Structure 1
């Protein structure tokens, strides 16, 4: 059993809450801070831009609001951890420079484009903006455990072949196709193996009907195998011999059967994440609104979809300690509960939200919520009831 509930909520200014947390106590941080689109901040740190500086002063005030909160977040992030920050075009360049300053330019993992509105925003002048950004930084890139891949991005079409037992696979050359690896740079991987193009059988020693096969590049130059001799001996069923046509004529070659559902590292099949995330993959603002509505009603105008956070969760271990100190509607805690329910993980999440009054006349106001923190709390309680994992307050 898990020692603590999946979701814990703390109401208050995030600077105050972060100051009470133990250094290095979280593996993953995701935050969706205010985008500085002209409305007043909920965080009043007595920071003002220079008189008469107009937009520049507004950007400066936003940066100075964010700086101590990023520094405080870094303090509680484990050395092996990572932080993901959502942002729009308005503050992207300022946030990028600020993150470089606080976390170090060398610890940038990715600048991800997130398509949350496939149709584009049709109101206002100019282009129909359909994207935002997520900046990902490591606490220490050399020690970070983040794996920039996901099982969710593996698709059936990547594995077009079907074995007699129904398993899907693809063929990969057993030969190393990178010319940096050759008999000079990797001499132990240049050796002969034996195969039968008629039966497909592959062995390290001669057998009846087999031909000797050495690794060569397409132009006939000597190459090396990707697998060692002992590995070939261990996994002959994952190899197949076939005739191929090359510039030197027909020859026998060896391929790996790369199975859709089986890997040999114990993690299951994964695929590297691209730096453009589409709404059809992770959800949109519309689907995010529907997720909140299903739990507590239509009370939040622009939440993030749980699919966005779940993709981030996929990059970290299944027992990650997660922190969101700009919790908004509670998307991160919801995503953590969903991920645990699906894969049996032991992730936990601390969500922190300021007691910012809801806008007068808004859906949340009409629904009886006094503050945004009240919305966060209500959603996380509903998540505990519907998805499971429990709920507590700090």
Structure 2
């Protein structure tokens, strides 16, 4: 089913009710669902995340309440997915085992795609037993048989060069004399001039065809021949950077401190205690949308709005038109909260009427204007108020919406296409 409105969405409301309302228009359209649900820790996050009908539950009762909370949401998430869609469920060790069993029940164990490890921290000298520096990201597919491999951009020692104005991955070591061990100092590359003698005329014809098509390039290599003074040529295989991928590794190292730096860059530091890093979410989103720049990404525990900014960053890389659907309940920010490591942060006071990330909503669609534009400042400038760290947000959803607005401004300032976003409340959606 095709969504008649191509805008991204940020919806404030209870995610169960909102998902039910959105499902008719979005059933089977979502490529990636990423959720970072409450971890059932009681105090490690800016929102209150302990579950139970009356008072704090412990042991099996606590797990049962959390599972009862999660099950209908996962069942709805499955309905949103395309047949080749995937769900990333980010969780810590407190509920990891229970979450995995629940996911197997909802998606079918045969649709489990495994578990990624997010290495999020290095420190933790005050830890009682050992430093818990990682979380888990469990993965399921709507239909595992249809899910494409998870990929990421090739990293060093891969070498990139700009050739004829285009960024290309250059591989000068793919065509070899033979495969196996080489002695130190022995040239293993098969030079163009030696192809026919070593590999036969058919291989020479194949290489010539790829040279003619621009897939290969010749480059002088080694020392000149003492007799002729001429140099031989290595065969370079060229791959456009946007197509140069390798399989995603199961351990992803992105520090959670980067998430705070992401908010600092938008003038929103010091308000939200544990935002996920944009780079982590970009890696996850791109791993399944590398060749799918029109994909839809859903996050119904949107929190600080990291997923939206990650989608924008993915679009900035390849000029894509990925959309995001975010849902966040209007839960109050705490006036103070403590991390499991004992750190306490004070949340901000009541937000004033003016925001630096100016935005104008017209007919329900956000048109993002550069910050400060309404104050007569030059168009195209983005003003980030250092006082953003103490700007007040009554609810998490308020903070999320403002983060999306500012990220959209920064995206356009970086050369990205305008970001069309609708900001809706639960009451704006069809009855369920």
TM-score range for the pair, normalised by the shorter chain length: 0.7 to 0.9
After TM superposition, the structure 1 stretch with the greater mean CA deviation from structure 2, 360-369 or 8-17, is 360-369
Say yes or no: does 1:9 pair with 2:10: yes
Change in Cα spacing, 1:46 to 1:177, as seen in structure 2 (3 Å) is same
2: distance between equivalents of 1:277 and 1:228? 40
Q: CA deviation at 1:358?
A: 0.9
Cα deviation 1:338-379 (Å, max 9, x = unaligned): 221221001000110011111124324463211111111111
Q: CA deviation at 1:7?
A: 3.6
Corresponding residue for residue 299 of structure 1: 271
In structure 1, the gaps of 5 or more residues are: 179-195, 204-209, 215-226, 241-255
Aligned residue number for residue 218 of structure 1: none
Check conservation: 1:201, 1:239, Cα contact below 8 A: no
The match for 1:115 is 119
Paired with 1:292 and 1:199, the residues of 2 have a C-alpha distance of 52
Specify which of 324, 332, 340 is matched with residue 299 of structure 2. 324
1:289 maps to: 260
Once the two structures are superposed, the pairs formed by residues 86-101 of structure 1 within 5 Å of their partners are: 86-101=90-105
Q: Does 1:391 pair with 2:421?
A: yes
Q: Which residue does the alignment assign to 2:133?
A: 130
2:311 is the counterpart of 1:336? yes
C-alpha spacing 1:202/1:385, structure 2 compared with 1 (3 Å): same
Query: Over residues 275-306 of structure 1, what are the superposed CA-to-partner deviations in whole Å (9 max), with x where a residue is unaligned?
Result: 01112xxxx21110121132233210001001
- Root-mean-square deviation over aligned CA pairs: 3.8
The alpha-carbon distance between structure 1 residues 212 and 325, as it changes in their structure 2 partners (threshold 3 A), is closer
Structure 2-normalised TM-score?
Answer: 0.66
Unaligned segments of structure 2, at least 5 residues: 181-188, 220-233, 337-345, 351-390, 413-418, 425-432
1:370 corresponding residue in structure 2: 394
Q: Taking structure 1 as reference, are residues 85 and 257 closer, same or farther at Cα in structure 2, changes over 3 Å only? A: farther
Point out the more displaced range, 335-344 or 350-359.
335-344
Q: Which residue pairs with 1:202 in the alignment?
A: 195
Q: Could you tell me whether the CA contact under 8 Å between 1:358 and 1:365 is conserved in 2?
A: no
Distance 1:110 1:140 in 2: 14
Give the TM-score taking structure 1 as reference length.
0.72
Q: How does 1:50-129 map to 2 (within 5 A)?
A: 54-119=58-123, 121-129=124-132
1:349 and 2:379 aligned: no
**Deviations 1:6-35 (CA, angstroms, capped at 9, x unpaired):** 642001111101101232121111111011
